[in-house]
Structure 1
């Protein structure tokens, strides 16, 4: 849910940002790409929340749409990667072994996913694992998530 994503964001960034866990109230862009306009964000988030998440393709489509919405001022990628793993765990009993997903390939696939989600799906699918209760896998995922955000 959107609330679940807000809780993840709040937990990750609660001591760092005063806006941790709060949906943004300003328009933002990155690399020339305009994320969902603030006036449409509540509707977008409601639509995304209602998207099905029972198959890999549905979950990835929901993940891609949340990336386009970019609901927070900062920390969207780190929060949504954990959110993605939570959906995969609940629905498919799988999670992503992020150590198998290269940084530049991931970033390129996420940029391309705005038009076509095939590249991000093709990148993530072979990195899926059933090690959903493995603490090391979870912590490694968080480490990689921060690595993806480094310049």
Structure 2
């Protein structure tokens, strides 16, 4: 069953393909039009704005805090009754060092505030913080998918592994469209979607 959507698509595979095509195009706009630079790095409001921009043409819930409990495999994300308080606490977390930023990223992943599209938006949000605070971003093409997923699964208990993986992939190419696009492509790869070729997107 496909999530209810504005496109009228009821096939989950077809929806995934169209969602990727549209939201990738919107992600490019975020970068090209300088919209990311106007957001308050590290705040939930910034993540909310990213989510709304990417998915507003697809879902009514774009940019809206989820109203259901969700899980992935055996892992349950923050219970709905604690979600708002969790997001308020994340806003207050320090972010002046690499370690502090990744700790904040891990907490936002546990919160998983949206019904769909959390991973993609949170990785853009993470790079926004890194760029603002330490003048670096992640080159996601240097990160092994399985290593990343396993480290993220373990991160609520022990975050040393995810910190090591992400630190090894840091780059100072903070204004590179190519590095940004690698992050967008890998976001979909991590979440199990097919990667469209750039020419299929017309970019």
Query: Structure 2 regions of 5+ residues with no counterpart?
Result: 1-42, 194-203
Q: Confirm whether residue 90 of structure 1 aligns to residue 138 of structure 2.
A: no
What's the offset of the Cα at 1:16? 1.5
CA distance in 2, matches of 1:56, 1:44: 21
**Residue in 2 aligned with 1:14?**
56
CA distance in 2, matches of 1:133, 1:72: 28
**Residue in 2 aligned with 1:68?**
110
Aligned residues: 151
SS in 2 for 1:24: coil
**Residue in 1 aligned with 2:166?**
124
CA deviations 1:18-58 (Å, max 9, x no partner) are: 11111111111111211111111110000001000000000
SS in 1 for 2:168: helix
The structure in which a higher percent of residues are helix is 1
Q: Aligned to 1:58, which of 86, 91, 100? A: 100
Query: Structure 1 regions of 5+ residues with no counterpart?
Result: none
CA distance in 1, matches of 2:156, 2:187: 20
What's the offset of the Cα at 1:135? 1.0
CA distance in 2, matches of 1:142, 1:10: 16
**Residue in 1 aligned with 2:187?**
145
What's the offset of the Cα at 1:81? 0.4
- Please give the root-mean-square deviation of Cα atoms over the aligned residues, in Å: 0.9
Alignment TM-score, normalising by the size of structure 1: 0.97
CA deviations 1:71-125 (Å, max 9, x no partner) are: 0011111010000000000000000000000111110110010110011001000
